[in-house]
Amino acid sequence: MTEPRHRRPATPEEAKALGHPLRLRIMRLCLVEELTNKQLADRLDRDPGTVLHHVRQLVAAGLLEPAPVRTGSSGALEKPYKSNGETWWLDGPLSEADAQTRFAPIEIFQEEIRAAGPESVAVHEKFLLHLSPDEIEELDRRILAVLDEYVASDHERRDRPAVGGIFVLHHLKPGG
């Protein structure tokens, strides 16, 4: 497998760009395939002008980039965008954000999985552990190390179906 890169702190521009749920959805869609602004607007059921505003913020932050211009089905030239995968290598880009912004990736994941349907779930693991803060840090480090290896070599598996996932640890509400 390819040697994984190391994480780095997000720049203020990157953190700001990732601080909006619609931009997170745009990033996720453009990670799977190259999409034009119109295609993004259609898939997100949003106004193309609104989507373009968010696309431009992601491009300015260096998280989204123009893909090669192509000819569309009607013969017109299309200008698609693609994710460069940089967000994976950012260390806690939303850690300083407000609670609603930090929760956005979980909400977006729920939307994605509902849209894909229950048959899309390949594996599901639900667990409860009793861990100290140091043990949480160690578990996170070990899981990220495995995921880093797969992310770093994902370009070698582009011929296979795309799968998504999320790893979340949360503290249980006392008495809940």
The CA–CA distances, whole Å, from 70 to 26, 139, 155 equal 20, 44, 21
pLDDT at residue 176 in the model: 60
- Specify burial of residue 99 (Cβ count, 10 A radius: 0-12, 13-18, 19+): exposed
List, in order, residues 6 or more apart from 47 with CB less than 8 Å away. 41
- How far CA 14 is from CA of 9, 17, 19, 24, 94, in Å, comes to 9, 5, 9, 11, 10
Tokens 């913020």, residue?
57
Single pTM value for the model: 0.81
Task: Say what the pLDDT of residue 174 is.
Answer: 85
Residue 50 — pLDDT band, cuts 50, 70, 90?
Answer: very high
Q: Coil, strand or helix: which one is 48?
A: helix
CA 15 from chain centre, in angstroms, equals 13
Question: Over the stretch 60-85, which tens digit does the pLDDT of each residue have?
Answer: 999 999 999 999 888 889 999 999 98
Give me the pLDDT at residue 97, please.
Answer: 84
Q: Tokens for 30?
A: 């453009």
Residue-level pLDDT at 104: 87
